[in-house]
Structure 1
Amino acid sequence: MSIATMNTPTAALTVRDPWALVPSLGNLDAYITAVNRLPLLTQEEETSLARKWRSQQDLEAAGKLVLSHLRLVVSVSRQYLGYGLPHGDLIQEGNVGLMKAVKRFDPDQGVRLVSYALHWIKAEIHEYILKNWRMVKVATTKAQRKLFFNLRSMKQSLKEDAAEADLHRSTLTDREIDAVAGELKVKREEVIEMETRLSGGDVALEPTMDDGEESYAPIAYLADESREPTRVIEAHRRDVLATDGIAQALDTLDERSRRIVEERWLKVNDNGSGGMTLHELAAEYGVSAERIRQIEVAAMKKMRKALAEYA
C-alpha cells in the first residue's frame, strides 16, 4: 500500500505491517509527511486498543497507538528547534517518550492518550537537551570545535611564556588574542566568544530550592505550553462548550427550569452581583425555596448530560 492510499479512516492502521508506511528519520521531510497522513483514532478505538495492550500485551495494539500519535511528537519537537539539536534526533527522543507513555497508559482513568503522552514526550526531549546543552553551547561549527580543542592548550602555553606576575590571569590580553587567532586562522571575535563560553559556568536547567521555595530555571520555559497544539485545541473546545454547548443545553430545559438556571448561574448585573435568589424565585412562582432548589438541581443534571453529548 502506498502512502497515497492512507486517506481512508483505518487504511494505514489495518495493513499487515503499518510501520512499513513510515519512512526512516534519515529522510525527515518524507517522515513528517507520512506521519501527518496517519489517521487519528477515535476515543472508542483508542480505549479498545489500550485495553488489549494492558490485558493481553498485544504488541499490534500498542503499535497502532504509537503510530496514531507520531504526529504529536513531530509537533512538540518543533518547539525545541532553537537549541541547536537536529530535528530528527528530537523526534527520535520524543518517540521514545511516546512509547513509554503507551506502555503505562491506563484507558480507564478517563484521560485521552494525547494528554497523557505529552508529559512523557517532553520529559525525554528535555533529558536529551540537558545531556547535550553544554556541548551545543560551546561548539556548534567545525571552526568552533577546532578552536575549542586548541584554545585551552594554547592559553596554557601563552601563560608559561608570560611574566610570573601574569600567571594568575584568567583572560587573554589583546596580544594573546591576536596570536591565537593568527595561529588557528580564525577571527579574533571568535576567540573572544569561545574564551567567554569556556570560562563561564554551566547554567542549571533544572529548578533548585532556595530558602524553602522553588526557584525558576530555564527548564520551566524551554517551550511555550500555551502554543502546544493540544492546549490550543482544548482552549477552543472550552470556548465552544461555553457558548454553543451552553446554548444547546439550555434548549433542553422547560421555560421555568431555564429561567431558574439563567437567574442563578448566568445572569450578572452591572454591580457584579448575580440574578435572583432562591427565595425571590420561590415568591414569584408561588412555591417553596426548597422546591426551586430541587428544580435547579434537576435542570443542572439535565444540562450536564446534554453537554456531555455535545462534546
Structure 2
Amino acid sequence: MSAQSALVPAGTRALGLGFTGNLGNIDAYISAVNRLPMLSHEEEVSLAKSLQDKNDLDAAQKLVMSHLRLVVSIARGYLGYGLPHADLIQEGNIGLMKAVKRFDPNQGVRLVSYAMHWIKAEMHEYILKNWRLVKVATTKAQRKLFFNLRSNKVGLDAMSPQQVADMAQMLGVKREEVVEMETRLSGRDIALEAPTDDEDDKFSPIAYLSSDQQEPTKVLEANDVVRLQSEGIETALGKLDPRSRRIVEARWLANDDGSGATLHTLAEEFGVSAERIRQIETAALKKMKTALAAYV
C-alpha cells in the first residue's frame, strides 16, 4: 500500500478513519478533506466529552475528520525538506489522533490549538529521521535549532560571523552551536562505496579510508608480536643449555620459511638418536614457553 493511498494508517482504523472510493493521489485526498464539515465550538465540546466519558469512537472519528485539513495545512509548511507530502500528512494524522485522545474539553482550549503541537511533533520526528541518513539533531535543543535555523536562514551561502551572532542571540544559543548546525545542514549524504557503473570519476570514500591495520588494537598487537619475537625469544633462548639452544635454533629459527634442520640431521651432529633429539626439543620448548609467559 502506497503512502498516498494510506494517509490514515491501518493501525488507526478502529476510529473509522478513511474514505470510501479510490482517492488515487494526494490532490484528491486534499480535496476530499477540505470538503469535510468543520465543527462548531459547542459540537466540539460535546463530542470531546462523549469520547472522554464514554470512550465514544464515533465522536473521536468526527473530531479527527473535522481537523484533517489542519494537518494538510501544517504539512505544506514542511515541503522544503524534500520529503513526500503524503508522508508528512500521514505522520501529522498520527499526531492529530494522539491529540484527540488526550484532549480535555474542560480546559477551555480549542482542539485546533491543542492539536498543532502534536501534529508538528510527529512531523518533526519524521523529518529528523528521514531527512538524512545520519541524524543531524538528537537532543531537544538541537532539534529546536535545526528547525529555527532552516526557517530563518537567508540564502544558501555560509553565514557571516555577524549573521551567526545575530542568529545565536535570536535563538538563545551559543554561536558555536549555530555554526555546528549550519555545517550539518550544508553537508550532504555520500555513499560509502562508489555506484556500480563503469564511470571512473565517481568519488568513493571507502577507497580513501585508512587500512584497518592502523586500528589502535591491531597496532598494539603488532608491537607485542615484534617485542615477543625479539626481546622475548632472546630471553627465552638464554634460559637453555648450549645443546638445547642449538637444537631449537636449528629446528625453528634458522630459516624464515620455517624449514629447519631435521631430527636425523641433528642426531648425527650430536651422536644421539633422533628420538633423543625430539625429547630435548620438547623439553626446551616447554622451558621457553614458561620464560615467554611474561611477554604475553
Coarse TM-score class (shorter-chain normalised):
0.3 to 0.5
Q: What's the TM-score, normalizing by structure 2?
A: 0.42
Q: What's the TM-score, normalizing by structure 1?
A: 0.40
Larger Rg: 2
